[in-house]
Amino acid sequence: MQWLLFLRAPLGLRRCWKVSGVIALLVGSFAASAQTRQDSVTIRRLYDEALLRGQSYENLRHLTTRIGGRLSGSPQAAQAVAWSKKTLENLGLDRVYLQEVLVPHWVRGAREKAFVRIGRANKQPLAVCALGGSIGTGGRLRAGVVEVNSWAQLAALPVLEVAGKIVFFNRALQPVHSETFQAYFEAVDQRNEGAVQAARRGAVGVLVRSLTLAHDNLPHTGAVRYEEQTPKIPAAAISTLGAEQLSHQLRLTPGLELELEMHCQTLPDVLSYNVVGEWRGQTYPEEIITVGGHLDSWDLGQGAHDDGAGTVQSIEVLRLLKATGLHPERTIRVVLFMNEENGNRGGLTYAELARQNSETHLAAIESDAGGFTPRGFRVEASPAVLTTFQRWRHLLRPYQSDKLSANQRGVDIGPLKTQVKALISYDPDDQRLFDVHHTAADTFDKVNRRELELGGASIAALVYLISRYGL
């Protein structure tokens, strides 16, 4: 209709309209260019602050070396709650508070022991650790071993060949994938479901090859699932070198026996907390941007990459914004979730309280892939929202944080899926993550200061853009 009016108008008027349109187009272009320059300058300031005066690394030093591993229900987890609450309060936020979360309390007990027994005198030790949530062996378990590499192979075995045995799941991570997470996701089902599937066929225990591409003697823990209608059997991880040793011995001596001793047990649930820090937006305070990591970790190491890095980066986002003189248009809420590793009760609680309070959640960002070099973000959102993220990529490109991928991986933010416009995972280079993931090697000295601080700045830059422009 506007073009029809233009064609019917007198020539002089049409010329005026043309000039006015060109001027409007130029003004709009200049305004957009000025906006881009302002955003570029602001993001540069965030990175400068992080690289010159970043606090993530020293916060991580305290969390990992002064407190240590923070398994849900442990005294260390309680110390981490108190420390992170105080750290957020020191930022001068509008509100810092705790959300009650009833968490499982599993304890490992004395160090696990495992031996391959060949004949009466020959005993060879194996590096093992209990999987999180496993029952203990009730003394020393001694049984024959049956090796499988797939569910189909287990299902094809006669019940009599499995009953009374320890099932050894030896499916290795595939090194051909450029993303190690893909290899991990292809193999993690044997750790999660192995005890149930083996018990259904009469097995008395399970050993699971550690989920890593590294060849070493570090067993990797992680959660195991049981079901009420199936007998619970002890479940342990075996190091990759131990797995190859055991597989080799089984080929030489099919009738060998394995001795396994684990003292783990599950105690009554314990009251713990999500730690929440909130900075209210000055224009749209009802629209919430959540950024977080999980405060708990496994107990073998110090929980540095998983997920101390995500915890301190989330805290650093607010510090960076404050230090550079910014005030958010929308409310920014840092959430340090409890119990991601063996229950996700913190994430479920946060989402349920958000639903009960009828909150408006614009975006939820989680950092839980280690404190490695930033690469970009994984975004789960509508096509229209994804287009918005695409328009921002050039602002992150100078810092090599502009890669956008699908399929976000955040466990804690997953329960928010129906309540939020965008679920976002911070996506660093993951090539080294599964070398230390869930092991005694996940310690502070494995984290590079510069990589960690760059990650916090990358998340802060994205939070700034979402806060300023919305989704």
Pair (233, 102) in one structural domain:
no
Pair 320, 456 in one domain:
yes
Q: Do residues 249 and 123 share a domain?
A: yes
Does 1 map to a domain?
no
Domain end (from 238, 263, 288): 263
Q: Facing residues of 423 across strands?
A: 364, 380
More confident residue, 401 or 6: 401
- Residue from 112, 316, 340, 366 carrying the catalytic annotation: 340
The residue segments making up the domain with residue 176 are: 109-263
pLDDT in tens, 290-302: 999 999 999 999 9
**Domains held by the chain: number:** 2
**Would 4 be classed as within a structural domain?**
no
d(CA 272, CA 443): 24
Q: Give percent of the chain with pLDDT exceeding 70.
A: 93
Q: What is the CATH number of the domain that holds 435?
A: 3.40.630.10
198 and 169 in a common domain: yes
On whether both 315 and 376 belong to a single domain, the answer is: yes
Please give the mean pLDDT across all residues of the chain: 93
Query: Would you call 186 a catalytic residue per the annotation?
Result: no
Q: Quick check: helix, strand or coil at residue 442? A: coil
- Which alpha helices (DSSP H) does 307-363 contain, by range? 309-323, 345-356
User: Do the domain assignments include residue 120?
Assistant: yes
Looking up tokens 């030093």 gives: 61
Find, among 354, 471, 356, the residue nearest to 424 by Cα: 471
Which of 209, 231, 263 lies at the terminal end of a domain, its last residue?
Answer: 263
In the chain, % helix, strand, coil (3-state, to 5) comes to 45, 25, 30
Q: Which of 220, 246, 263 is the last residue of a domain?
A: 263
CA-CA-CA-CA torsion for 101, 102, 104, 105, nearest 10 degrees?
Answer: 100
* Mean pLDDT along residues 423-446: 97
Give the pLDDT of residue 36: 82
Q: Would you call 81 exposed, middle or buried from its count of C-beta atoms within 10 A (0-12, 13-18, 19+)?
A: buried
Q: Is residue 36, in this structure, part of any structural domain at all?
A: no
Residues 304 and 379 in one domain: yes
Q: Are residues 141 and 81 in the same domain?
A: no
Which tens digits make up the pLDDT trace of 373-393? 999 999 999 999 999 999 999
Are both 281 and 234 inside the same structural domain?
no
Same domain? 315 vs 460? yes
Statement: residue 4 has pLDDT above 60? no
For the stretch 95-122, pLDDT in tens is 999 999 999 999 999 999 999 987 777 8
